[in-house]
Structure 1
Amino acid sequence: MAEGRSTGGLVAAAVVGALLVFGAWFLFARGDSDGGSASGGSGEGCVSLNVTASSEKAGLLGDLAEEYNSGGPSVGDQCVTVSVSSKASGGAAQALARDWDDQLDGPRPDVWSPASSSWAVLVEQWRAEDDKANLIPADYESVAQTPLVIAMPRPMAEAVGWPDKQIGWKELADLAGSPKGWAAYDHPEWGRFKLGKTNPNFSTSGLNATIASYFAATGVSSDLTIKQVKSPQTKKFVKKLESSVVHYGDTTLTFLETMAREAQEGKGLTYVSAVTVEEKSVIDYNRGNPSGDPATLGQQPEPSIPLAAVYPSDGTLLSDNPFVILDADWVSDTKKQAAAGFLGWLRESDQQQQFTEAGFRTFEGEPGAVLTEENGVLPQGPQSVLSPPAPPVLASILKSWDELRKRARVLFVMDVSGSMGQAVPSAGGSKLSLAQDAAINTMDGFAANDLVGLWVFSTGLGPDGEPYRELVPISEAAQTVPKMKEEVAQLVADGGTALYYTLGEAQSDMVKDLDTGKINAIVLLSDGKNEYPQDTDLNGLLDQLQGESVDTSVRVFTIGYGTEADTSALKAIAEASRGHHYDAEDPSSIEEVLTSVLSNF
């Protein structure tokens, strides 16, 4: 891969509009949703260089920074100290675009290393639209590479020919559209083909997978045109592939953690058939460390069913991990010299070896010793690497994807117990008022023909004393979202928390009218523990949620709101239903968290 702006940077310029629709930024760090330090410390009187890195490599960069600092680097007669903080690429991009706030965003970066150059161009575009000074230099270099792959449980990969044969997006689309499912490969017990894929408006891997699928649909490997994107043949292909998606999301870690858990329970071949991730994630998963954080390596056993990396025969894209020395007024010439020194050191062979040991390829694309077939990857890598399309074409792709993506059927279940009325002085409102604002501000993210409804719960709300009430029956979002906003704005906090009973009833109601052609899900927000004596049976609820097959399950995406939420129960509920738990311990983060939840649809 070439270095600098040519390494995929133009991708992001076209995604600006789509990302702004969601209007939120996300920070995912090492165990801390507000970002965190991967290394730290500054010598008194030294030049302090702050590096903000994407979460999948921040731990490694932090360790390398500590090693670099121990060697006594200097610029002129001044010592240099490098500190590394972790933020997801999208969250850091949003923070830079709107002018970095140290109190809200953490240490202001002198150097930014997102997963892809796409995010750097995105920041440049956003700031230009707001008539702000550009922070992104004309050129920047890569510190490591990793290609997008289709990760499959190894038995499934072997069934389609891995490692000798590399299937492509076309074969996946055919498998996704086949009523035979895995029976076409003599494995009817695996059911239909199911794909895990992140939302391209939030995730680099989701964006790259979407781009690659449009290339595959047209049969070209470069110079994709808007006319080709809009052709009926292309739309048919992409819709067939998207129809196999179990849900979307803003991070591949959701899929990987669930895959590991399902494998431990003997269900590793029924959750998803494939998930689009970076090659490095396959190495991390097979080491028993799906997060890729060096601090957690060795804490969990290796999975009983490892993943195999399939390199699409019809092409894939790369993440180039650029090292962007910001052109900002707070980045002095001395800091730029210090950053250049650190970059040069990172690109030396000893440090590049540490990147390859972590599962990356070098900045020149060379594999390390861990990239082996035994570890689930192929050292030769992809046969065909695609160049991102021109920005107008990519804008057309994202607009087309939004029309073709799998539709959702979602029931919001919202806690309105008395504790929701507690004040949040730092945010200038109550927990309920913050949740009301967040819900109202994010509901427009649904497509007009998604199906959405609203329940609330506490105690004694229903006409016959039920602890819940249906405020807006599930129907097309074009009709229900305006009604939901009106109802949410009028909510009042009162009563106890009938968590288990309400969720059991909601799940039963969703199953009755299950639409297997849609993503069927419940979004459950609660700030407390179950306080309903008539139903205290959590195990019974979990059995109910687990009892459905993967194809007919209603996934529950839980939000633990505030410091008194029953996190343990909410996590168990999410895991039993093959959903995911989200933490909003800080009530002021609820809009960001809710936007993250809605990225699954």
Structure 2
Amino acid sequence: MGEHRGAGGVRGVSKGPLIVLVLVALLVAVVFGWFQLRERIDKQADQAAGMCVEGESVLHVTAEPDIAPVVETLAQKFSDTDPVIRDRCVRVEVASAQARAVVGALNADSGEQWDDSVGPRPNLWIPGGSSALTELEQPDVVAGEPHSIAVTPIVLAVPRVVAAALSAEPTGWQDLPALQSTPTSLEDRGLPGWGSLRLALPIGPDSAPTGMAVQAVAAAVAGAPTGPVTPEQLDTASVRTAVATLSRNAPVLEPSDITTSDSLTGMIEHAEDADATVHAVPATEQQIYRTLHDDEFARVDTFLPSGATPVADYPAAILTGSDETQSRAAAQLVEFLGTPDNAQLFADAGFRVPGTTLPTDTPLEFPDLGTPLVPADRPTATDLEHIVTSPIEDRATTILLDESQSMADQEGADTRLGNTTAALAAQIEKTPDTSSLGLWEYSQDLGEDAPYLATVSTGPLGENDRRQALTEALDAAEPATGSWTYSSLAAAYQTAVDNYVPGRTNSILLITDGVDDQEGSTRAELLSAIAEASDESTPVQIDVITIGENQTASTFGAVAERTGGTVRNVDSSDGPALTEAITEFSS
């Protein structure tokens, strides 16, 4: 018989389903944990970014003083957005410095030593004008193409009555030299007792408006509608005459390096005085708007001469030497400055920015800018500035030119005489019309009863076609025979003393290459003749240029010393030395 399992036995349970349930539970836990971990990692990454795991990066900005306050305000606004670039928190610091000082520091910067007097070396530099960038000696200092963040025109700050008088008839930049030099120019415009324009030309640290105003004058006189003034135009007599006239007749300012700001303040204080030292100051429109207060608006106005308009354009230049974070931060800040709301802050301060609204809290008019003036290159601008700071002096000079046989000697591509007359003609071409020049030629028997010939009488170049007469005489000059220098010099000196021109330097410019070979002529006789003709009330100096070796150099030295002149020796007529000496003695 078969056996059955007893009633008290235990039935077995299968383990398979339990194992599956455990595995499912573990899998759910793992997946849940993974999502939790990933969320935590993401949060930690976000927190790490917000905490700037790579630390802080300071963006150094240096801006022109007149625009620096607005830049500083917006830089703080930018910093308040907590910008993070390449895991670094970015903070912006703004320093204020004149472009001239920053240019000097950048040009002197060797990469190891920086002039801290202008603040930290900037990663972003905002000078007053693009012309400042052309002064940098190393072109790779600037990274990329600078972007203008605002502009303001260079205008004249003048009393309101002067502005009305200048506006009553067409007045361009080219008219300023005549308004400056004519004693009654404002009286002729209907302002009795006001005299001339009395346009100040400050040359202090903030004098960029002076330089740009002078460029506008030069461009207008040269007939360059929009500029820039070229070296060839600057070398013309008309341009040099205009700029020198403007400078020579400018009011004398104290101190000599007074700033534009102080000049402007002084003019405003005396705006209602017809006999004031200064009636006009070149400045930016924004500077004038910022300076005027309350009742001053009723006394002072701006005047913009017709012609191309000089402007300050405030380029934002990112400088090399910055790290990647600073370069990116600088680019972001420049973009931030140009957003509509931020750009309006520049306009509220008196700057011009497209798409913004100009201030309405002033009676000042903001005229249309017209065509901007293209700035001159740095060498040309420097030459113009030199004329302003050291204007060509009006002289009365008689050139005494040696045409002896030795002047036919070949030097370079031409003869000594050919090289000399070419250098003289070039100088005459660019000498102002108001300077007086004349020409005596000498050899042995050039005149009827004398070794010399008074070819062109000494007088202003702008009168009686004298410039053309001098040029034609020099072109026709030819070597002759002997060199009767002493008697010719004595006669020329006596004539210059007899025809002394008050108020300017009177001189004889002797150019010679040889010794005196007139029989019986002596050094003692020459010195005696000079002493006899000399008169303290009509001083005439004798300047001498000797070409090559000259055995009578000591005699010429004695003559120059006794009359207050100078002797220059050049080894050859072929080269810049002769040109430089002629320029020195005729300007």
Normalised by the size of structure 1, how large is the TM-score? 0.51
Match of 2:180 among 176, 179, 185: 176
Shift of 1:395: 4.7
Partner of 1:243: 248
Alignment of 1:254 with 2:262, yes or no, is: yes
Q: Contact 2:336–2:342 (CA<8 Å) still a contact in 1?
A: yes
| Letter of the 2:220 counterpart | A
- Counterpart amino acid of 1:115? G
Cα distance change on mapping 1:213 and 1:76 into 2, 3 Å = same
Deviation of 1:310 after TM superposition, in Å, equals 1.8
SS of residue paired to 2:265? helix
Aligned to 1:419: none
8 Å Cα contact 1:200-1:206 kept in structure 2? no
Corresponding residue number in structure 2 for 1:369: 358
Q: State the secondary structure of the residue aligned to 1:140.
A: strand
CA-CA distance at 1:359 after TM superposition: 0.5
User: Equivalent residue for 1:285?
Assistant: 291
**Does the C-alpha gap of structure 1 residues 367 and 317 become closer, same or farther in structure 2, counting only changes over 3 Å?**
farther
Q: CA deviation at 1:141?
A: 0.8
Answering whether residue 339 of structure 2 is matched by residue 348 of structure 1, we say yes
CA contact (8 A) 2:193 2:274 kept: no
Residue identity matched to 1:356: A
C-alpha distance in structure 2 between counterparts of 1:402 and 1:360, whole Å: 29
Q: Using the TM superposition, give the Cα deviation of residue 96 of structure 1 relative to its aligned residue in structure 2, in angstroms.
A: 1.8
Say if 1:103 and 1:160 are closer, same or farther in 2 by CA, change over 3 A. closer
Q: Please identify, of 392-401 and 305-314, the stretch whose mean Cα deviation from structure 2 is larger.
A: 392-401
Is 2:226 the partner of 1:213? no
CA pair 83-391 structure 1, distance change in 2 beyond 3 A: closer
2:328 matched residue in structure 1: 337
Are 2:200 and 1:196 equivalent residues in the alignment? yes
Give the Cα–Cα distance (whole angstroms) in 2 for the partners of residues 406 and 357 of structure 1: 45
TM-superposed deviation, 1:350: 0.6
Q: Deviations over 1:197-248 (max 9, x none)?
A: 2239973212111211111222222364433322222222222222331136
Change (3 A) 1:223 1:321: closer
**Quick one: distance in 1 between partners of 2:176 and 2:101?**
32
CA distances 1:85-109 after superposition (whole Å, capped 9, x unpaired): 1111111111122126364433222
Query: Counterpart in 2 of 1:157?
Result: 163
Are 1:73 and 2:77 matched, yes or no? no
Aligned to 1:84: 94
CA contact 2:297–2:364 (8 Å) conserved in 1: no
1:250 Cα deviation (Å)?
A: 5.8
Whether the 8 Å CA contact 1:170–1:216 is kept in 2: the answer is yes
1:310 alignment partner in structure 2? 303
Q: Indicate if the aligned counterparts of 1:141 and 1:323 stay in contact, CA closer than 8 A.
A: yes
Which residue is 1:387 aligned to? 374
Q: Deviations over 1:499-541 (max 9, x none)?
A: xxxxxxxxxxxxxxxx9999xxxxxxxxxxxxxxxxxxxxxxx
Give the superposed CA RMSD.
3.2
Matched, 1:96 2:114: no
Pick aligned residue for 1:229 from 227, 230, 234: 234
Question: Helix, strand or coil for the counterpart of 1:55?
Answer: coil
Indicate which of 103, 114, 118 corresponds to 1:105.
118
Measure the CA separation in 2 of the matches of 1:306 and 1:43.
59
SS in 1 for 2:67: helix
Deviations 1:234-266 (A, max 9, x none): 222222222331136363102112123335xx6
**1:483 maps to what in 2?**
none
AA at the equivalent of 1:194: R
Q: Distance in 2 between matches of 1:211 and 1:43?
A: 52
2:193 match: secondary structure: helix
CA distance in 2, matches of 1:390, 1:97: 17
The runs of at least 4 consecutive aligned structure 1 residues that moved more than 6 Å come to: 515-518
TM-score, length-scaled by structure 2: 0.53
Please name the residue that 2:529 is paired with.
Answer: none
The 3 A distance-change label for structure 1 pair 59 and 77 is same
Q: 1:144 to 1:73 in 2, by over 3 A?
A: same
- The 3 A distance-change label for structure 1 pair 273 and 390 is same
Q: How does 1:570-585 map to 2 (within 5 A)?
A: none
Partner in structure 1 of residue 56 of structure 2: 46
Contact kept in structure 1, 2:171 and 2:306, CA below 8 Å: yes
In structure 2, distance between residues paired with 1:111 and 1:270: 42
Instruction: Name the CA shift for 1:284/1:115 in 2 (closer, same or farther; >3 Å).
Output: same
CA contact (8 A) 2:206 2:260 kept: no
CA distance in 2, matches of 1:102, 1:347: 30
2:349 to 318, 342, 358: 358
Q: Decide whether the 8 Å contact of 1:46 with 1:79 is kept in 2.
A: yes
Q: 1:218 to 1:259 in 2, by over 3 A?
A: same
Structure 1 residues 307 and 56: CA distance shift in structure 2, 3 A? same
Cα 1:268/1:67, change in 2 over 3 Å: farther
Question: Residues 459-474 of structure 1 correspond to what in structure 2 (within 5 A)?
Answer: none
Amino acid at match of 1:323: A
Equivalent pair of 1:49/1:110 in contact (CA under 8 Å): yes
Query: In structure 2, the residue corresponding to 1:211 is in which secondary structure?
Result: helix
Unaligned runs of 5+ in 1: 1-41, 129-133, 289-300, 408-514, 519-601
How many Å apart are 1:389 and its aligned residue?
3.1
Per-residue deviation at 1:171?
2.7
1:142 is matched with 148
**Retained in 2: the 8 A contact 1:181–1:191?**
yes
* Whole-Å separation in 1 of the counterparts to 2:162 and 2:219: 24
Q: Which deviations, in whole Å up to 9, do the C-alpha atoms of 1:67-95 show, x marking residues without a partner? A: 22222222244322111111111111111
Partner of 1:139: helix, strand, or coil? strand
> Tell me, what secondary structure is at the counterpart of 1:325?
strand
Q: Are the aligned partners of 2:147 and 2:317 in contact in 1 as well (CA < 8 Å)? A: yes
- Change in Cα spacing, 1:369 to 1:259, as seen in structure 2 (3 Å) is same
Deviations 1:277-306 (A, max 9, x none): 1111121122x2xxxxxxxxxxxx542654
Give the Cα separation in 2 of the matches to 1:274 and 1:516.
Answer: 26
Checking the alignment, whether the CA contact within 8 Å between 2:129 and 2:313 is kept in structure 1 is yes
Q: Percent identity?
A: 26
Letter in 2 for 1:122: E
- List per-residue Cα deviations over 1:12-31 (Å, max 9, x = no partner): xxxxxxxxxxxxxxxxxxxx
Q: Retained in 2: the 8 A contact 1:203–1:250? A: no
Task: Name the larger-Rg structure.
Answer: 2
Task: Work out whether 1:322 is the aligned partner of 2:315.
Answer: yes
Q: Summarize the alignment of residues 414-453 of structure 1 with structure 2, pairs less than 5 Å apart.
A: none
When residues 189 and 359 of structure 1 are mapped into structure 2, their CA distance, relative to the original with a 3 A threshold, is: same
CA contact (8 A) 1:52 1:113 kept: yes
